[in-house]
Structure 1
Amino acid sequence: MNIAVIGAGALGCLFGGHLAVAGHDVWLLHRREQIANTLSAAGISIHRDDDPPLAAGINATATASDVGTADLVLVLVRAHQTPTALAEHAACIGPETLLLSLQNGLRNYDYLLDQVGRERAFCGVTYEAAITKEPGTIIHTSTGLTTFGGSSVGARTTIQETFAEAGFNVNTVTDPRPVIWEKGALVGATAPVLTLTGCPVTHLPTDPLDEVVTQLLTEADHVATSQGIDIDVETIQQTIASMTESHAEHRVSMVQDIEHGRRTEIDELNGVIIDLGKTADIAVPINKHVTALIHGVEQCS
């Protein structure tokens, strides 16, 4: 397949590198031409534990017209950047191109549906985790399940097989909204807490963090129910507990955004819960508090 990856950060390079090694024609799209040139020249090196690094030659560009028409576009920019990124890179999105988002955030599926319609839009979540040591050098901090969905069974199967052949554990569903909301609720309950406290992931199940996380999850559950979406809070809490081992060394992207003076994804997570809660007349005071505090940290970083 001819695959374009919008967003050449840690996950973009992780997925792009493995797909390239699997024999696909992969292009990474980065907004900064200098970094795109570095990636094209040096390729990608993916490091996992003590295993030999996975090296992949890769095409990278800041100009979508270099790619031509892609068969599949994988969207991995920050959630609030999605509408702009899709518009900027529309040159590689043709009348039959499939779009797949594996981003954090609760509105990405809507953004893709607006772009290409129901038959070609796919969205989901991934529990793969990685960080960028330097452009092109990726530390694969933990592996996990990737789940996505969309209405076209044939296209869904093609994407699943493509990712599975590249070594990823992939599951598909027809309606991706429940898995999107479960991951969104998890990230919205943990990332702001870790960012505001400076605590590592291993502290999440301990008091007083656990109480705040539970309150954030409960509010998210009430709002999801108002949208006709069922999420399993107990399962999310179990996932958080397991993260203390599987993601113990991982630093969440919200922390990294603050450290680099970047805007966080808070408005696409907790901010969506606030907006929908207001529409449904559901009180979400804890989500309001952590969102306001993260905005304050953004202003001061």
Structure 2
Amino acid sequence: MRDGRRIGVLGAGAVGGALAALLDRAGHEVLVTARGEHADALRAHGLLLTGGWGESVHPLAVVDRLPADLDLVVLATKAHDSAAALEAARECDGVPVVVVQNGLGGADAVRDALPHSPVAIGLALFAASLVGPGRIAITGPAGLTLGGDAAALAVALPLLTEALPAPVGTAGDVLGAQWTKLLVNQVNALPAITGLSVQQVVAHDALRRLLVASMRETAAVGRALGVAWATIGPVGPAAVDALLAERAAPGGSLPGEDVPRALAAGMGDEPNPASTLQSIRRGRTTEIDALNGAVVAAGGRAGIATPVNAALVALVHGVERSGAFLAPEAVVTAVERGLGDR
């Protein structure tokens, strides 16, 4: 074994695979779980990382179960796969875990499965795509924000700070950071429905207005719940205020319309499919219920109507079933009743 720590990654997809490659590059022994053709390619050829952090090949150990003698476990599956994935880590109860997922609830899944493990939450700001079996491309090189249990942070923070070629910061209020990331992740649904990149969605006037409407609902629910919004990239308390403003911005834009524009601009020219579209293209169940669906569920608790988010959830599930993307005009028609007079 090389010098360094021994780290297990549950879910070596786009984000988990990128982190596994970077940790391997930093000199650690990395064990991963994966499935299907991706797992076969990792076993045969290692993981090829390309894009914004350079090109390199990483001989990761693909395992069915993680051993007990790990220094850190990274849970990077889709949120709805957490419970099943954690079955492969039953021997790791007590090992610090960092959950790097979209949506809410990952920490609860870890505490249910591994009650003695301290848990940190990681919010990936970088964009990664699984472009083929054993191949991951960094399409948006950015950092990572961590929060959660001090014992988990004490292990995860130095390891990830050393491994990532981008800033790794901490959030004092991890729930506020998760809600900000949930607001950012509103960019996922419309690409999954249309097959377009995030940049193409934001450039399309009608789709951008639907995106703003779903963001406005998310901001309203978070505000009703008393969320202390963190700042992630261009999104933070000022963006929430802009989204919830009563008046249009100068030039006739919707309130908050500059928020998705800023997100798209920060992604650069490389088309960003977002994670939900990647799942659609691979024929996998998406995490939409942990994204827009989480907004709908929280809105129900807060007494805030979320018809746009509910419509987007239904449309994503429709594409999951049919495999057929919708034209932008069809999307607008399908959700306009939810928009009402917004």
Tell me the TM-score normalized by structure 1.
0.88
SS at match of 2:272: coil
When residues 92 and 8 of structure 1 are mapped into structure 2, their CA distance, relative to the original with a 3 A threshold, is farther
Correspondence for 2:198: 201
1:202 Cα offset (Å): 2.4
Amino acid of the structure 1 residue aligned with 2:19:
F
Matched, 1:273 2:295: yes
SS at match of 1:70: coil
SS at match of 2:205: coil
Partners of 2:133 and 2:68 lie apart in 1 by 24
Q: Deviations over 1:198-249 (max 9, x none)?
A: 3332231552223212211121122223333133364376663234344242
Equivalent residues in 2 for 1:225-264, closer than 5 Å = 225-231=223-229, 232=236, 234-235=238-239, 240-247=260-267, 248=269, 249-264=271-286
Amino acid of the structure 2 residue aligned with 1:202:
Q
Partners of 1:233 and 1:214 lie apart in 2 by 16
Amino acid of the structure 2 residue aligned with 1:274:
V
When residues 290 and 52 of structure 1 are mapped into structure 2, their CA distance, relative to the original with a 3 A threshold, is closer
Q: Tell me, which stretches of 5 or more residues in structure 2 are unaligned?
A: 230-235, 241-255, 324-342
Partners of 1:20 and 1:259 lie apart in 2 by 28
Correspondence for 2:179: 181
Partners of 1:109 and 1:241 lie apart in 2 by 31
Correspondence for 2:208: 210
Asked whether the equivalents of residues 7 and 31 of structure 2 are also in contact (C-alpha less than 8 Å), the reply is yes
Q: Deviations over 1:64-121 (max 9, x none)?
A: 15x34322110111111112211x21334132x0111111112223223333459701
When residues 92 and 245 of structure 1 are mapped into structure 2, their CA distance, relative to the original with a 3 A threshold, is farther
Correspondence for 2:43: 40
Partners of 1:112 and 1:212 lie apart in 2 by 34
Matched, 1:90 2:89: yes
Aligned residues: 293
Equivalent residues in 2 for 1:86-165, closer than 5 Å = 86=86, 88-95=87-94, 97-117=95-115, 120-152=118-150, 154-165=151-162
Asked whether the equivalents of residues 73 and 99 of structure 1 are also in contact (C-alpha less than 8 Å), the reply is yes
Q: Tell me, which stretches of 5 or more residues in structure 1 are unaligned?
A: none
Higher Cα Rg, which structure: 2
Tell me the TM-score normalized by structure 2.
0.78
Asked whether the equivalents of residues 71 and 96 of structure 2 are also in contact (C-alpha less than 8 Å), the reply is yes
Correspondence for 1:8: 12
Q: Please identify, of 20-29 and 251-260, the stretch whose mean Cα deviation from structure 2 is larger.
A: 251-260
Amino acid of the structure 2 residue aligned with 1:287:
N
Partners of 2:110 and 2:216 lie apart in 1 by 28
When residues 35 and 45 of structure 1 are mapped into structure 2, their CA distance, relative to the original with a 3 A threshold, is closer
Correspondence for 1:64: 65
Correspondence for 2:319: 297
Asked whether the equivalents of residues 258 and 298 of structure 1 are also in contact (C-alpha less than 8 Å), the reply is yes
Partners of 1:80 and 1:226 lie apart in 2 by 26
SS at match of 1:89: helix
Partners of 1:266 and 1:16 lie apart in 2 by 25
SS at match of 1:20: helix
SS at match of 1:74: strand
Matched, 1:18 2:40: no
1:299 Cα offset (Å): 1.6
